Structure 1
Amino acid sequence: MTEPVNDDLDDEPAQPLRPRRRGIYILPNLFTLGALFGGFYAIVMAMNGRFENACIGIFCAAVLDSLDGRVARMTNTQSAFGEQMDSLSDMVSFGAAPALIVYEWALKGLGKAGWIAAFVYCACAALRLARFNTNIGVVDKRYFQGLPSPAAAAIVIGFIWVLDDAGYKGVSVLPVLPWVAFSVALYAGLTMVTNVPFYSFKDVSFKRSVPFIVIVAIALGIAVINIHPPAVLFGLFCVYGLSGYVIYAMRKAKGKPVSVIATSTDEPDERGLH
């Protein structure tokens, strides 16, 4: 006779599988951590009165921040973790750090007006980053909605770097310069939360071939920056910080749409703007 089959094993509930732990991609997050360290280093240097080193730290953070996203896309290592890490790093390096540096350098001599200006800048950076994260799916990728936080930080820090390099020490006790720094911090901060379009350069592809003259132009650009880095970099970012208003005025004058918010979540174009 055939032995009866034991069906007890079939009736036992299956053991739940343990969820697989998600890892993180090392390469793009290394760039993000480097940018975060640049902001932290800048704060420490400013606390010790070494403002030139603090400015260099912020500019290095800006370079690393511009690379992490591109590296992630080129190596197909994008992740939600990387996006959140990038935003937190930006808040430290381009929000809190420039506000603390400019306050320590010039604004603390203005009393309440000084720390209010520093806080306004810091708060605008946080608002700009939060708006960027929530609007990322409906914004024309060719433009930023408001001045990007690294560029705003570069304007504030570039101003400090130029004057510190010119020999202006102990600026907080001077009569005029603290108020100029006050105005620069407010301009950079408030421009971050406007709806003015700033060109994003995201349509520039590093995978495409370019004419030889482009490489020559890049080499010449590097040479020009090396003539006097503080003045050249500050001048470049000042031009960029004004370019959005020029684009806005030109579109307004031509009757073209000026908002960078698209009407759909598809890849936006000129006709998708309102």
Structure 2
Amino acid sequence: MSQEPNTPEHDRTEQQASSRADEDIASAFVRETEVIEEAVEDGKKVRRRGIYLLPNLFTTSALFSGFFAVIAGINGDFTAAAVAIFIAMVLDGLDGRVARMTNTQSAFGAEYDSLSDMVSFGVAPALVAFTWILQDIGKTGWVVAFLYVACAALRLARFNVQIGSTDKKWFIGLPSPSAAAFVAASVWTFNSFDAGAVGFKLLMLLVVAAAGVLMVSNIRYHSFKDIDFKKPVPFVVLLAIVLGFVMISVQPSVMLLLLFGAYVVSGPALAVMRKMKQAPAA
């Protein structure tokens, strides 16, 4: 069978078809990510595109805190860097809740939040830990720091594709904000000690590596999303919460390290307990 030669008209037709396909993809992306509002101006309906300001303002603030942590770490102010990561964590927890409360969820906001998390909970903790102590270990130090960054990226990508398909009661793998908090609290606490000691270097190497690997593991972590804050609770629960805030205010770095350290360990501990229960009795 003979093939028709490619003529200029044929090439133009293919280019136009390809251009239309690209435009369809672009318009579909815009419809998915942007908010379209209809307004009446001079008696005519006008369609306006935009994004929701309030939740994305919280996301931008979290991104700013993560970037500030990077700058503070480079400048050697490791306490400020650790605090900035915790501030980013608080702001990151607020943007989604604000979006749900105000009914301003959007695909754009979800993607923007993920990119912000990559900076605040992926790059920032690894860079702060590296500039503080891991750089003294040489090649092993930066390899472990990169391992953490890569695992954070993989964790966020997996979370994005699993939205709506997993049990909301559990996270699969250590959440990136909790991993970042564990690393940041370690830097914040141990920064007041002799960082030149070999023991601290090996300890931080283990902390960063473990946090990274646990993010991409299949170990389940409780999400606490099933807690109903509208239901009444015993008075002792309120007393425990107040006591917790008091203890954190007295010694924030140590208490936050203990809190998030316990959460990091809770995943493997519960997994071992489930295995022991499932094992047949001898």
TM-score, normalised via structure 2 length:
0.79
| 1:98-136 Cα shifts (integer Å, max 9, x gaps) | 011100001111111111000000000000000000111
State the AA in 2 paired with 1:178. K
Match of 1:129 among 151, 156, 170: 156
How many residues are treated as equivalent by the alignment?
Answer: 236
| 1:19-56 Cα shifts (integer Å, max 9, x gaps) | 94432222211211111111111111111111000000
2:80 matched to 1:57?
Answer: no
Match of 1:109 among 107, 124, 136: 136
1:34 aligned residue? 61
1:244 aligned residue? 267
| 1:69-99 Cα shifts (integer Å, max 9, x gaps) | 1121122111111101110010000000001
2:179 matched to 1:152?
Answer: yes
Match of 1:199 among 202, 222, 227: 222
What percentage of residue pairs aligned between the two structures are identical? Answer: 53
1:188 aligned residue? 211
Q: Please state which structure has a larger fraction of its residues in helix.
A: 2
Match of 2:256 among 205, 216, 233: 233
Q: Which has the higher contact order (CA 8 A, sep 6+)?
A: 1
State the AA in 2 paired with 1:84. E
2:261 matched to 1:254?
Answer: no
Counterpart Cα distance in 1 of 2:234 and 2:48? 46
Query: What are the ranges of 5 or more consecutive residues in structure 2 without an aligned counterpart?
Result: 1-44
TM-aligned CA distance change 1:30 to 1:207, over 3 Å: farther
Task: Report the secondary structure of 1:176's partner residue.
Answer: helix
Q: Please state which structure has a larger fraction of its residues in strand.
A: 2
1:5 aligned residue? none
What's the CA shift for 1:250?
A: 2.1
What's the CA shift for 1:253?
A: 2.3
1:82 aligned residue? 109
Across the aligned residues of Structure 1 and Structure 2, the Cα RMSD in angstroms comes to: 2.0
2:48 matched to 1:25?
Answer: no
Counterpart Cα distance in 2 of 1:103 and 1:81? 32
